[in-house]
Amino acid sequence: MMATDNIIEVSEADFEYQVIAYSQHVPLVVDFWAEWCVPCRTLGPMLERLCLEAGGSFRLAKVNVDQNPNLAFRYNVRSIPSVKAFRDEKIVLEFTGLQSEPKLKEWLRALAPSSTDLLLEKGLSLISEGEWVSAMTAFQEVLKERPDSAPAMLGLAKSALAQGQVEEAQRILQSFPPSREFAKAETLLQLIQALIRLKNSENHHDNPLEAAYQRALRLVLRGNFAASLDGLLDILRDDKHFRDGEVRQVILGLFELMGEEHPLTHQYRQELASVLF
């Protein structure tokens, strides 16, 4: 076993202090194992390595069940390896048997978010506050560590778009990975493509609705989302099928850009429903 402050061997004598009491300060992952357990020989070193990589975000306690049968009985350990996570003196997560490294990492992230997880959370919070420049920096840092992070890619695209960097936002979303965020990326891409078409088109003053549509898109580029939505909804009031539904897709893209929690999203989503239905 690797000897560090965050990887320790515990026994029935010190379990109460080293695990239960200590879990009030930092999460404890307890690995119940034995010398004769073949899967333990794979899982144990994997847990130790991930603990070292976590840099103190959780502590790993090793319990040899042969030497500590009362602890195994107390925590209902019927087969090994058995891993239980303690936080605030309670078991909050557990599993039995050998796990793949990706599943183990996901399990550990649920227990103790890494610095990268916290940075992602910070970026998402900055987006909700409209702090697009700071959010972009946060997402760029996340992507240095996790290049395929879909939430960070979506956040970076939003941050770029909100600052008028339309082509950059398109570049990010065109290589978007399959994920839970994929549908959101597609919705945002509809708005981006409309803005790119605007840049490549000529002004159409002879068609009032076309002129109004272009004005609304320019307001998006200026960051005036409320005025843009007002203009887009006015277009739909005149013609619900203008540009074969493109206006509705642009509005949905704006909702995605602002986020579901934004007060404008809630307000204008209700207005959109009243116009269309």
Strands 82-87 and 28-33: antiparallel
What is the spatial distance between Cα 277 and Cα 267, in angstroms, rounded to a whole number? 16
Active-site choice (10, 40, 138, 257): 40
Contacts of 237 (CB under 8 A, 6+ apart): 275
In this structure, the chain runs to a length of 277
H or E element, residue 8: strand 7-9
Contact status, residue 188 vs residue 256, Cβ threshold 8 Å: yes
Residue 51 is a catalytic residue: no
Contacts of 183 (CB under 8 A, 6+ apart): none
Helical residues (DSSP H) of 129-181, grouped into ranges? 132-145, 150-162, 166-174
The tokens of 14 are what? 């010190």
Active-site choice (10, 28, 30, 37): 37
Phi, psi of 32 (to 5 degrees): -85, 120
Phi, psi of 50 (to 5 degrees): -70, -30
Which residues are registered as beta bridge partners of 8?
61
What is the spatial distance between Cα 55 and Cα 38, in angstroms, rounded to a whole number? 28
**Residues with catalytic roles:** 37, 40
